[in-house]
Amino acid sequence: MAVTYLKQAEPHPTIESADIRDTMAIMLAAIERDGERAVRRYAETLDKWTGPIVPSDGERQAACARVPEQLKDDIRFAHDNIRRFAEAQKATMGECEIEHMPGLAAGQKQIPVTSVGCYVPGGRYSHVASALMTITTAKVAEVSHITAVSPPRPETGIPDAIVYAMDLCGADLILNLGGVQGIAAMAQGLFGAYPADILVGPGNSYVAEAKRMLFGKVGIDMFAGPTDSLAIADHTADPETVAWDLIGQAEHGVDSPVWLVTTDRALAKRVLARASELCHALPEPNASVAQTSWRERAEVILCNGRGEVVEVVNRYAPEHLQVQAEDLDWWLANLTTYGSLFLGEETTVSFGDKTSGPNHVLPTSRAARYTGGLSVHKFTKTVTWQRCTREAPNELALRTARISRVEGMEGHARLAEMRLDRTVTAAGE
């Protein structure tokens, strides 16, 4: 594959993951040892929060009441789309039963986990949409208990709009906690929370590392890295729209890459010329963030034909994949490696990030090679069952015993043959 890089990312040193791991190990050990006392200490030190960890019902209602009606209506609109999409996903999850042979039946059940911990970021941006995406989906999956945390602002706590979204979506418990202390509190079941069976939601590198270190004790949605976006464009695309779509996603963070893969050199040059200018159209600090991301992390790749484009996309495995090209049905049929796909000039990643319905908690760092995004499936255990009666054939027991002995597992063989004896006895009665 001989592609041409018209712009290539600068060498990018990774975050000192060993330092992060050491910090996380110390914090998680302290919280495991000292429980709520350690969590409060970290909340005071890191979030500058000395108020109540659990808002009272009155405080929760007051926060909701302060949200302007127009914003409430916008949040309800997004919630309705996300809920209906999750319900449609749930409808695809079937249970089944099969009779292999007379006397042997097996089946599948779908059982929701009991408790979920939802992390809602609240650092540079107040991620109202993350509350909608995580809590709503867990609720549709029929999870019994949902805890939600988000970093509190000093003196005021979690922003009102996030509290409203959490409340609307059905969070059973809200905690004024961010960072590692919020993740650990949900995992351990502190402050009245049920110990989480699974932790979900995006966060910074410390939150991601804490989830990774807790994985095994609890489930997690995925190992998350910086968000990324890739746009496919051909000669039919509008360079201004393409440039804006890249820069709009670059404001996520200085380590968030954006990529353009195109078959049209003229379009690529126009996007390159325009993108740097558009950074300055954003307010600060977004402008500086987007400018750094574009300068250091962006790539523009020129391909020979759409088949080569697909090969590049499969290699990058983007979190968000946008197509502004002719024959959208072809792209839908042939693209296979992405977190979520956005087809056509009128479809922006921003819709998916906020309001259109499909979940925005998506695989990053090439994880789209092996997993999709957050869905009702993540909150549901697909379990199996089987049942044998005395009518089950001797063949089942005989073959099991023989395979067991080849493996050296005599106990398994004898357990099978005990059932063979019962079958033979039943037949002779």
Catalytic residue numbers, as ranges: 319-320
Helices 286-297 and 265-279 sit at what angle, rounded to 10 degrees? 150
Cβ–Cβ under 8 Å, residues 216 and 247: no
Cα separations in angstroms, 131 against 191, 350, 369: 20, 16, 26
- Is residue 175 within 8 A of residue 191, CB to CB? The reply is yes
Q: Which residues pair with 101 in a beta bridge?
A: 104
Query: How far is the C-alpha of 48 from the C-alpha of 62, rounded, in Å?
Result: 22
Taking alpha carbons only, the member of 387, 418, 415 closest to residue 103 is 387
Contact 361, 202 (CB under 8 A): yes
Q: Which two tokens stand for residue 27?
A: 């914090």
d(CA 181, CA 27): 8
Gap between the Cα atoms of 181 and 193, Å rounded: 13
Contact in structure between 351 and 341 (CB atoms under 8 Å):
no
Name, in order, each residue with C-beta under 8 angstroms of 66's C-beta and a sequence gap of 6 or more. 160
